[in-house]
Amino acid sequence: MGKLLVIHGPNLNLLGMREVAVYGNVTIDGINRMVEEEAGKYSLDVDFYQSNHEGDIVDKIQEAVRGYDCIIINPGALTHYSIAVRDALVAVDIPVIETHLSNIYKREDFRHKSVIASIAVGQISGFGPQSYVLAVRAAAEIIKA
């Protein structure tokens, strides 16, 4: 009924293995399974991509122009400076949902500014792995509309 691309930015491959006190013990695979389960409820297919390389993420977004109806992206550290990722998202013209595990407004000042937010449909921040699950549901509504 639709197809999602979920992009995890730099260092998110370490989830559940490092800084467990901060990010919890769910791994990136665990999150991906939660996402797939939620997507299944709305008959959405999902592909996943993680990279620590800004350039690879830009490449991936560019390829997304063929066949995806919505992009869910947790840009990690790139949230705060990657105008290249922003430009790629604008160029492919697919609805974007920005997610964050932690509440970025509770963290260092430089994390309060997202260069992605103003070109996304919306932002979900602070609910841990649920941020992704909620994003899937939001994506389902967007695709349906």
Kindly state whether residue 47 participates in binding a copy of itself, applying the rule CB under 8 A. Answer: no
For the question of residue 49 being annotated catalytic, the response is no
Judge residue 18's burial from the number of C-beta atoms within 10 Å of its C-beta, 0-12 exposed, 13-18 middle, 19 or more buried: exposed
Rg (C-alpha) for the chain, rounded Å, is 14
For 32, list phi and psi in degrees, rounded to 5. -60, -35
Kindly state whether residue 18 participates in binding a copy of itself, applying the rule CB under 8 A. Answer: yes
∠ at Cα 54 (52, 55), nearest 5°?
A: 120
Choices 26-34, 39-47, 66-74, 81-89; region in contact with a copy of itself by CB under 8 A:
81-89
Q: Which residues are registered as beta bridge partners of 46?
A: 4
- Rounded Cα distance between 110 and 103, Å, is 13
Residue 41 C-beta: closest distance to a copy of itself, Å: 12
Kindly state whether residue 143 participates in binding a copy of itself, applying the rule CB under 8 A. Answer: no
Binding site for a copy of itself (CB under 8 A): 9-11, 13-14, 18-19, 51-56, 58-59, 62, 65, 76-78, 80-84, 86-88, 90-93, 103, 105-106, 110-111, 114-115, 117-118, 120-127, 130-131, 133-134, 137-138, 141-142
